[in-house]
Structure 1
Amino acid sequence: SLRDQSPKDAEVRHWLGFLLMRHERYAEAAREFEEAIRLKPDYVEAWTNLGNARLMSLSLEGAMEAFRRAVSLAPTNPDTRANLGHAYARMGRHAEAAAEFREAARLRPQDAGLWNDLGCSLLALRQAVAAADAFSKATALESKNATYWTNLGIAHNEGSQPGKAKRALLKAVALDPRKVEARVALAEAFIRLKDYAAAKEHLAQARALNASNFAVLYNLGLAQWRLGNLPAAVEAYEAALALIPKSVETLTALVQLYPAVGRLPDALKTCEVLAELRPDDASIRARLGNLRWSAGDKKGAVEAWEDALVRDPKRSDVRLRLAAYYLEVADPDSAERHYRRLLEREPANAIALNGIGLVLDLRGKPREAIAWYTRAAAATPSMAAAWNNLGVALEKTGEIAAARKAYRRALQADPKCIEAKRNLERLGP
Structure 2
Amino acid sequence: MTHRPSSAPRRSLTVGVSLALLCLLSACATTTEARPWNAVIPSVPFKGGLPAAKERLDVGDLDGAMRVTEEHLLASPEDPSAHYTRGTLLLGQGRWADARDALARAAAIEPDNAGAWNNLGIAQTELHERKAAEASFRKAAGLRAEDPTPWVNLGNLYARSGRYADAREAYDEALFRDPQDQTLAIAHAGVLIRSGGHEQAVETLESAMQTFGETPEGLTTLAAALRGLGRGPEALVQSEKALALAPGSPSALLCVAMSLDFAEKPEAATAYERAVTAAVGTGVELAAVYNRALFAMEKGNKALATELLTRYLVIDPGDTPEHHNAVVLLERLAKEPTTAPATP
Shorter-chain TM-score range: 0.5 to 0.7
Q: Name the counterpart of 2:236.
A: 200
Q: Greater relative contact order: 1 or 2 (C-alpha under 8 angstroms, separation 6 or more)?
A: 2
Deviation by residue 1:349-401 (Cα, 9 ceiling, x = unmatched)? xxxxxxxxxxxxxxxxxxxxxxxxxxxxxxxxxxxxxxxxxxxxxxxxxxxxx
- The Cα shift of 1:249 comes to 3.4
Deviation by residue 1:83-116 (Cα, 9 ceiling, x = unmatched)? 2123323445444322211111122121122221
The 1:244/1:43 distance shift into structure 2, 3 A limit, reads closer
Deviation by residue 1:216-272 (Cα, 9 ceiling, x = unmatched)? 3344334334445x2343443343244369935325525756xxxxxxxxx8xx554
Q: Distance in 1 between matches of 2:100 and 2:178?
A: 30
Runs (5+) with no aligned partner, structure 2: 1-46, 281-287, 311-329
The 1:75/1:188 distance shift into structure 2, 3 A limit, reads same
The 1:19/1:167 distance shift into structure 2, 3 A limit, reads same
Q: Does 1:119 align with 2:155?
A: yes
> After the TM superposition, which parts of structure 1 deviate over 6 Å for at least 4 consecutive aligned residues?
none
CA contact (8 A) 2:289 2:309 kept: no
CA contact (8 A) 1:187 1:200 kept: yes
Q: Name the counterpart of 2:268.
A: 233
Q: Distance in 1 between matches of 2:53 and 2:196?
A: 48
Q: Number of paired residues?
A: 271
The 1:226/1:27 distance shift into structure 2, 3 A limit, reads closer
Structure 1 vs Structure 2 CA RMSD: 3.3
Identity %: 20
Letter in 1 for 2:170: A
Q: Name the counterpart of 1:323.
A: none
Letter in 1 for 2:253: L
Alignment partner of 2:87 out of 51, 65, 73 = 51
CA contact (8 A) 1:26 1:57 kept: no
Q: Distance in 2 between matches of 1:82 and 1:38?
A: 25
CA contact (8 A) 1:13 1:35 kept: no
CA contact (8 A) 1:71 1:80 kept: yes
Q: Highest Rg: 1 or 2?
A: 1
Q: TM-score, normalised by structure 1?
A: 0.55
Letter in 2 for 1:149: A
Pick the structure with more helix per residue.
1
Letter in 2 for 1:240: A
Q: Name the counterpart of 1:243.
A: 278
Q: Distance in 1 between matches of 2:291 and 2:181?
A: 33
Q: TM-score, normalised by structure 2?
A: 0.67
Alignment partner of 1:131 out of 167, 173, 195 = 167
Q: Does 1:34 align with 2:76?
A: no
Matches for 1:318-357 after TM superposition, within 5 Å: none
**Secondary structure, counterpart of 2:146 in structure 1:** coil
Q: Name the counterpart of 2:339.
A: 289
Q: Distance in 2 between matches of 1:241 and 1:274?
A: 13
Alignment partner of 2:199 out of 154, 157, 163 = 163
Q: Distance in 1 between matches of 2:141 and 2:134?
A: 10
Runs (5+) with no aligned partner, structure 1: 1-10, 258-266, 295-429
Q: Name the counterpart of 2:215.
A: 179
Q: Distance in 2 between matches of 1:51 and 1:108?
A: 20
Q: Distance in 2 between matches of 1:95 and 1:212?
A: 38
Alignment partner of 1:274 out of 297, 305, 314 = 305
